[in-house]
Amino acid sequence: MRENINLKVNIGGLELKNPVIAASGCFGFGREYSRFFDIKRLGGIAVRGLTLQPQKGNPPPRIAETPSGILNSVGLQNPGVHTFIEKEIPFLRKIDTTIIANVSGNTIEEYESMAEILSNADVDAIELNLSCPNVQEGCLRFGSSAQKVESVVSRVKNYAKKPLLVKLTPNVTDITEIAKAAEEAGADSVSLINTILGMAINAKTRRPILGSITGGLSGPAVKPIALRMVYEVSRAVKIPVIGMGGICNATDAIEFLLAGASAVMIGTAGFANPMVWVETIEGIEDYMAENSINSVTELIGGLIV
Amino acid sequence: MNTRYRILKAEYLNVDTFLLTVQSELISKKARPGQIVTIKCGDEGGVILRRPISICSVDREKGTFDIAIQIRGKGTKILSKFKAGDMIDIMGPLGQGFSLYPKHKKIIAIGGGIGIFPLLQLLKDHPAENKKAILGFRNKSCVILEEEFRQACNELFISTDDGSYGDKGFVTDTLKKVMDKEPADMLFFCGPLPMMKLGVEIAKEYNTPCEVSMEQRMGCGIGACLVCVCKTKKEDDWEYTQVCKMGPVFSGDKIIID
């Protein structure tokens, strides 16, 4: 790290050494990418989406490539929160970075239960996934109305003894209403955007490409939508916003910071380039050096309009 | 981490399938038969995913390896434009390859279409005394790498769907005939799903162990994203397992092909 450059950010009580986080779902529990780069360089890791019980996930194919993007329908395949605590936290804790547990539930009680379990586990923050488009029940159902978000978040808040991030879905009429509801209910920050519901069809076979017919779109194709939503939400709420959606490099990340994000998450871009997280951190440093910016916080919301 | 390597040779094997010879000390030394590499297509046309491709053969002395690619869509079309001398972004070797056990004395490698490629290095590396290959193609114009396979095994059988070259019919028909005459103690399959499903059943009939190389649409290629899964047995249940990390080669008694 360069001298005189401060990359530290504070996301609603969660201290990050830099604003670049590995996005949930794309980074597993860190083991695979640790073979490619020193993952302690990350500002944080949002682990694969966890549920109370193990989940088998959706039938394959689970991915379809679309212009400048991908649709996925993994369906929250995971070993369950207990196995995560037993088998994965010991590995993750050897790494000097922030661990964010991403959780999904079928019922409010499941969200409460996981918040309680994880508050007693060695993680740094909890990210409530109210927005997975790929499961039959729960999740998106909770995330798509302000009233439901308010009720889930306020009830989870009773059990969450760690900073609580609420991940928002873009598949709503007005994302700022949802963000405000999360804030009022006690969220410490909001992260957005989750994937955009989409579909791909093979005209030759007349069948959907994905095993579960529809999936969530991510990648550069969604970046303009994500940027717009981060811009709108950061003006609508006082809590910090974590921005994501199609970030592939430092320039993309800086655009999100300027739009109002206090940190960014990167996922899909790592599929093509496993070094994307490190390159983004270094690129932000270069940009700050070139523009004589000492603290990355000076960039947050720095958009000139 | 360096992933950029030079292409030494690029040539078409038939009308839609081409072979690239790539210079890489690392990949050629580390690669085991059946493992894959993932190739970046470049930034044109909004193609963002790497393409997973089986390693076809390696030259460990020269430090080169060959991959054969069929043009199927946008990504492979972009890859087909690479020429000798170009640099290409390749990650690998990845995944689990075929098992090379000295206890297997008589093996048969059964491949269909582009599924034949990973079997070439398998035949070259396997310590068995008796190595046979059964390769199936749509028609005569699709038959490729015949000479390379002939040199890598003791006996080569070729069949085509329309009978325009070799035997008429499917590789699984040939396999039964060969097994009736001289049973093997290990079978390796790579090809279309229905062929491998039938292959696993035939292996069971003959009480012979086998391995299959699975194909699935991939995301990260290293096991993190859980996108490229197939069904495998787990005690009395089943689970979805990553093809890129735990495969692409799976044991015939572990895999579930629906």
Shortest CA gap B227–chain A (Å) = 5
Shortest CA gap A73–chain B (Å) = 8
Residues 6+ apart with CB under 8 A from A151: A108, A185
List pLDDT tens digits, range B233-247.
999 999 999 999 999
Q: Is A291 exposed, middle or buried (0-12, 13-18, 19+ CB in 10 A)?
A: exposed
Are A65 and B75 in contact (CB < 8 Å)? yes
Q: Is B43 on the interface with A (CB under 8 A)?
A: no
List pLDDT tens digits, range B185-223.
999 999 999 999 999 999 999 999 999 999 999 999 999
Place of tokens 């097994």: B179
Q: Is B222 on the interface with A (CB under 8 A)?
A: yes
Q: Which residue of A has its CA nearest to B3?
A: A273
Confidence (pLDDT) at A131: 73
Contacts of B227 in chain A (CB under 8 A): 60, 62-63, 72, 74
Confidence (pLDDT) at A259: 98
The β-bridge relationship of strands B4-12 and B87-94 is antiparallel
Contacts of B75 in chain A (CB under 8 A): 65
Chain A: residues touching B (Cβ < 8 Å): 25-28, 31-33, 35-37, 48, 56-57, 60-65, 67-70, 72, 74, 77, 209, 219-221, 268-275
Integer Cα distance of B211 and B200 in angstroms: 8
Complex prediction ipTM = 0.92
Are A77 and B221 in contact (CB < 8 Å)? no
Which residue numbers in chain A have pLDDT < 50? none
For an interface test with A, the pick among B220, B234, B239 (most A C-beta atoms closer than 10 Å) comes out as B220
Every domain of chain B and the residues it spans: 4-94, 98-213, 214-258
Tokens of A115: 């918040």
Q: Specify whether the backbone of B63 is left (phi greater than 0), alpha (psi in -120 to 50) or beta.
A: left
Contacts of A77 in chain B (CB under 8 A): 226, 229, 240
- Catalytic (active-site) positions of A: 132
Which has more pLDDT, B88 or B1? B88
Q: Is B256 on the interface with A (CB under 8 A)?
A: no
Domain B214-258: CATH class, spelled out: mainly beta
Confidence (pLDDT) at A136: 56
Integer Cα distance of A193 and A211 in angstroms: 24
Integer Cα distance of B224 and A49 in angstroms: 12
Q: Is B47 on the interface with A (CB under 8 A)?
A: yes
Domain B4-94: CATH class, spelled out: mainly beta
Are B46 and A68 in contact (CB < 8 Å)? yes
Residues 6+ apart with CB under 8 A from A269: A219, A246, A247, A248, A249, A276, B48
Q: What angle do CA B208, B209, B215 make, to 5 degrees?
A: 130
Contacts of B42 in chain A (CB under 8 A): none
CATH number of B98-213: 3.40.50.80
% of chain A with per-residue pLDDT over 70: 96
Residues 6+ apart with CB under 8 A from A177: A146
List pLDDT tens digits, range A189-246.
999 999 999 999 999 999 999 999 999 999 999 999 999 999 999 999 999 999 999 9
Is the pLDDT confidence value at B116 over 60?
Answer: yes
Confidence (pLDDT) at A141: 72
User: What is the residue type of B112?
Assistant: G
3-state secondary structure chain B: CCCEEEEEEEEECCCCEEEEEEECHHHHHHCCCCCEEEECCCCHHHCCCCEEEECCEEECCCCEEEEEEECCCHHHHHHCCCCCCCEEEEEEEECECCCCCCCCCEEEEEEEHHHHHHHHHHHHHCCCCEEEEEEEECCHHHCCCHHHHHHHCCEEEEEECCCCCCEECCHHHHHHHHHHHCCCCEEEEECCHHHHHHHHHHHHHCCCCEEEECCCCCCCCCCCCCCCEEEEEECCEEEEEEHHHHCEEEECCCEECC
Contacts of B225 in chain A (CB under 8 A): 25-26, 28, 72, 74, 271
Place of tokens 């008796």: B130
For chain A, which domains are there?
9-299 (3.20.20.70)
Confidence of residue B172 (pLDDT cuts 50, 70, 90): very high
Is the pLDDT confidence value at B183 over 60?
Answer: yes
**A59 and A211 Cβ atoms separated by less than 8 Å:** yes
